[in-house]
Amino acid sequence: MLDGDIIEQETVSLQELQDASADDPALSTLTAYVRQGWPAKVPDDLLPCFRIREELSCWNDPVRSMRPTMAPKWSPMDCPPV
């Protein structure tokens, strides 16, 4: 994306975000790890999120970061590099 590009954003309700997060297997797994603790062996697709695990938290189910919010239809590669 280039500077000055306009991104159209859609407003979603908290319930819609919770439902979509629950339906996403990767986000469901990430939510469990954030709430219950990370396993000794983290799946490769969640390693980028593991690297910023101290910045992740859950609030009303969706995973949140001190960095830009993650939403359903994401890829673990969307986690910012460290």
Q: Model confidence over 11-64: pLDDT tens digits?
A: 878 788 788 888 888 888 988 898 899 999 999 989 998 998 988 887 766 666
- Which pLDDT belongs to residue 39? 94
Number of domains comprising the chain: 1
**Residue 73 sits in which domain range?**
14-78
What separation, in Å, do the N-terminal and C-terminal C-alpha atoms of the chain show?
Answer: 20
- Which pLDDT belongs to residue 1? 47
- Which pLDDT belongs to residue 82? 47
CA dist 6 and 76 (Å) reads 24
* Whether pTM exceeds 0.95: no
Is 3 domain-assigned? no
Report the residue count for the chain: 82
Is 59 domain-assigned? yes
Q: What are phi and psi of 57, to 5 degrees?
A: -150, 170
Neighbours of 55 (CB within 10 A): 14
